């Protein structure tokens, strides 16, 4: 079995270490960083009847482009939309590819909204078209929970601020989803500052967003995703080349930012009780 990380260190190392621990020391596993492999080597590795675990989008995308036609592939730490857009060769059997997504399911994100902001009824959401499937799931879950989803779809960075100005005045909470246009490292601080001016609390998808100003966040850590990947790899059937079906990360954390909450006049419930209610791990 081969393990390829997008980059050495950081979150990728955390996920890789957790994968190894869950997969077990008795199973042979060779590890690479993407920088150690050229196209010919990727084609050779994936041309063998083996399982390749790619951690991060860069490793997964490089492997898809150079896929040699035989190996089963498990990717970790990819958003669902990125996993679905990997450039596999035509005719690639679906059963040979699986994923542990970094996204949180709609039931979990809106479950946190309901638990942390029980009086909230109007949830703002600004996304690009890449999140169309996620929006459908959120709309269904919002209807089930009797929540109103104030949705705006943007096509470019310049539309994010006007869209926020449109939805925030009529919203109780802003929900952020991973999105290459609507929310990313380049605009996250501006988005959070705008929500603060409108006095609308934010539910984010990473510990970084929680520290930067989101009142609450739900996310799965690299270690949690790596552990789940290790368990899935143990169920790989070499004789058939099949992997378990793709799935969301099962383990997750919840974080609160009580300082921002106080400055917005938001009274948060007990974090321990919210974690228990939603099934989150202690972090």
Domain residue extents for the chain: 2-101+221-248, 106-219+252-278
Question: Phi then psi for 262, rounded to 5 degrees?
Answer: -60, -40
Would you say the CATH fold of 106-219+252-278 matches that of 2-101+221-248? yes
- Give the residue from 107, 90, 77 showing the smallest Cα distance to 246: 77
Question: Are 204 and 176 spatial neighbours (Cβ–Cβ below 8 Å)?
Answer: yes
Q: Specify the pTM.
A: 0.92
Euclidean distance between CA atoms 209 and 9, whole angstroms:
21
Instruction: Give per-10-residue mean pLDDT for the chain (283 aa).
Output: 94 96 86 96 93 96 94 94 91 88 95 96 96 94 96 96 96 94 91 96 95 96 97 85 88 97 96 95 86
Q: What is the pLDDT at residue 25?
A: 75
Question: Are 177 and 205 spatial neighbours (Cβ–Cβ below 8 Å)?
Answer: yes
Q: Could you tell me the two tokens for 279?
A: 């099934």
Q: Could you tell me the two tokens for 192?
A: 């959070």
Euclidean distance between CA atoms 180 and 244, whole angstroms:
28
- Structural domain 106-219+252-278, CATH architecture: 3-Layer(aba) Sandwich (3.40)
Q: What is the CATH number of domain 2-101+221-248?
A: 3.40.50.2300
Task: Label residues 246-262 b or e (16+ Cβ within 10 Å = b).
Answer: bebbeebbbbbbeebbe
Q: What is the pLDDT at residue 91?
A: 80
Q: What is the pLDDT at residue 12?
A: 96
Q: What is the pLDDT at residue 241?
A: 67
Over the Cα atoms of the chain, what is R_g?
Answer: 20
């Amino acid at each position: 079995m081969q393990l390829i990380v997008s980059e050495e260190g950081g979150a990728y190392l955390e996920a890789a270490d957790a994968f190894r621990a869950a997969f077990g020391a008795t199973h042979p596993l060779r590890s690479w960083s993407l920088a150690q492999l050229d196209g010919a080597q990727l084609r050779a590795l994936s041309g063998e009847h083996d399982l390749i675990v790619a951690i991060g989008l860069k490793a997964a995308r490089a492997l898809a482009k150079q896929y040699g036609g035989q190996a089963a592939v498990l990717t970790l730490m990819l958003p669902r939309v990125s996993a679905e857009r990997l450039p596999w060769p035509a005719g690639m059997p679906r059963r040979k590819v699986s994923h542990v997504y970094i996204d949180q399911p709609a039931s979990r994100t809106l479950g946190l909204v309901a638990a942390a902001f029980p009086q909230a009824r109007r949830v703002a959401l600004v996304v690009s078209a890449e999140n169309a499937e996620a929006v459908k799931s959120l709309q269904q879950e919002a209807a089930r929970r009797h929540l109103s989803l104030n949705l705006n779809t943007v096509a470019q960075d310049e539309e994010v601020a006007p869209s926020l100005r449109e939805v925030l005045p009529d919203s109780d909470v802003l929900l952020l989803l991973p999105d290459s246009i609507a929310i990313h490292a380049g605009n996250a601080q501006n988005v959070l500052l705008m929500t603060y001016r409108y006095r609308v609390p934010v539910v984010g998808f990473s510990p970084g967003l929680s520290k930067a100003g989101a009142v609450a966040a739900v996310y799965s850590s690299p270690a949690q995703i790596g552990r789940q990947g290790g368990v899935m790899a143990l169920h790989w059937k070499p004789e058939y080349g099949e992997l378990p079906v793709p799935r969301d990360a099962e383990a997750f954390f919840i974080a609160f930012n009580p300082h921002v909450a106080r400055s917005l006049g938001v009274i948060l419930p007990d974090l321990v009780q919210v974690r228990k209610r939603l099934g989150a791990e202690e972090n």
